[in-house]
Amino acid sequence: MKWRLASGVLCDKKVSPKLKGKFYRVVVRPTMLYEAECCPVKTSHIQKMKVEEMRMLRWMCGHTRIYRIRNEDIRDKVGVPLVEDKMREARLRWFGHVQSPSAEV
């Protein structure tokens, strides 16, 4: 999914920040994390994903870095947890799936 296609909903000032956050969590983030659960991820990749995510969240809220609003405040406003935590959760879910007894066929 291309970010610009979703920007009509995410950048609309009439839509509440919580609804934008829900749309982001359901549509945009799974696209970003598609392959991160089964492939090894370097620290540099995690940092790039953090930067990209914050750029998108700031854009959704209509803020730039010039406003000097803390990342935590923007995350709280939209209701989106850290991308690093979601990547770890997805990897652990995949690992549990691989380790399950039904996987030994």
Residue 87 has a CB neighbour count (10 Å cut-off) of: 20
Alpha-carbon Rg of the chain, whole angstroms?
16
Q: 104 pLDDT exceeds 70?
A: no
CA distances to 6, 39, 99 from 3, in Å: 5, 23, 35
Q: How far apart are CA 29 and CA 15, in angstroms?
A: 19
Q: How far apart are CA 32 and CA 22, in angstroms?
A: 15
User: Residue ranges of the alpha helices (H) in the chain?
Assistant: 3-10, 17-23, 29-32, 43-61, 71-78, 83-99
Asked if residues 53 and 36 have their Cβ atoms less than 8 Å apart, the reply is: no
pLDDT of residue 105: 52
pLDDT tens, position by position, 22-62:
999 998 898 888 877 777 889 999 999 999 999 999 999 99
